[in-house]
Amino acid sequence: MEKRFLMAIGTSFRCLPVLLLITAASADSASADPILVNAGTLSVNNGDPSFFRFIGNGFDFPAELLFGNLPGPLRTCNPCSGGAPVDLSSHLTGSIGEWVNRPDFPVQFNGNTYATVFYSGDVVFDAPIVVAPDPSQTMFLRFNEGFTFSGQVTGFPTIARNTAPLFSTALTGNGTVQFFAAAAGGMFFFADLDYKFAAENGPSPTPEPATVFLMGTAVAGAFARRLRRR
């Protein structure tokens, strides 16, 4: 009986690397899945600071938008003439924003809070191309269209963004883009832009890597106990 017990233990340890490999693969998959943005906005308004805020289950990413990342409509309609195509999409990349010394309104991710975060990322608000009306026929240009959102956001503790990140995650979502411009001198000039995320019920929360590892370890333990009973 002792010999069978030792053989069973040896078999369980030989199987353990396989179980750990399966567990590690599951953890990588869990961390790579995009999480849903179901609240928040990206807003650019004349005379006010530009900002974005991405909110979802377990995270809140507020930031001042860095000037180098101009949303699409500011590039295609500031100014624009009647009949001009206006791309309502936006692509933000590189150093996209920062949130500095804000302990009263911190960045949150996965149970952690940060007063200062420097964001890097690559995110896309995918929206239609529309056509500006004749400015001689209307004083204002208004568009209200749907968008889909996807991308990757990483937060760093320093402005150099060359240290280990505080967090990094893929995001997804959708909502409505509202664009407003006013006519002057036969042209339209930008006034207001808002990408507003829609509230949706997302998928069931994905287990964290540590949780998946504990599940895998429990399976390994149960497997060894079953072998000992044989």
> What are residue 118's DSSP bridge partners?
98, 156
Whether residue 86 lies inside any domain: the answer is yes
CA 210 to each of CA 60, 122, 171: distance values in angstroms, whole numbers, following the listed order:
22, 27, 21
Whether residue 14 lies inside any domain: the answer is no
pLDDT tens digits for 26-69?
333 334 699 999 999 999 987 778 999 999 999 999 999 997 88
User: For residue 6, what pLDDT is reported?
Assistant: 42
User: For residue 207, what pLDDT is reported?
Assistant: 39
Domain count, the chain: 1
Whether residue 81 lies inside any domain: the answer is yes
User: For residue 212, what pLDDT is reported?
Assistant: 33
Whether residue 4 lies inside any domain: the answer is no
Whether residue 207 lies inside any domain: the answer is yes
Whether residue 9 lies inside any domain: the answer is no
Mean pLDDT of 187-203: 86
pLDDT tens digits for 83-115?
999 999 999 999 999 999 999 999 999 999 999
The region, left, alpha or beta by phi > 0 then psi within -120 to 50, assigned to residue 161 is left
Q: Which stretch of DSSP H or E encloses residue 74? A: helix 72-76
User: Is residue 193 a contact partner of residue 71, using CB atoms and an 8 Å limit?
Assistant: yes
User: Is residue 65 a contact partner of residue 95, using CB atoms and an 8 Å limit?
Assistant: no
Mean pLDDT of 201-223: 38
Task: Report CA dihedral (142, 42, 58, 203) to the nearest 10 degrees.
Answer: 40
Residue 155 has pLDDT above 90, yes or no: yes
Confidence of residue 116 (pLDDT cuts 50, 70, 90): very high
Confidence of residue 201 (pLDDT cuts 50, 70, 90): low
User: For residue 48, what pLDDT is reported?
Assistant: 78
Whether residue 15 lies inside any domain: the answer is no
Q: Tokens for 153?
A: 């956001």
User: Is residue 113 a contact partner of residue 105, using CB atoms and an 8 Å limit?
Assistant: no
Q: What is the pTM of this model?
A: 0.73
pLDDT tens digits for 80-91?
999 999 999 999
CA atoms within 13 A on the CB side of 50: 18
Bond preceding residue 103 cis, omega within 30 of 0: no
Q: Which string of b and e fits 36-68 if b means at least 16 CB within 10 Å?
A: bbbbbebbbeeeeebbbbbbbeebbbbbebbee
Give the number of other CB atoms < 10 A from CB of residue 165: 13
Mean pLDDT of 150-159: 98
Whether residue 44 lies inside any domain: the answer is yes
| Residue 198, domain extent | 34-229
User: For residue 175, what pLDDT is reported?
Assistant: 98
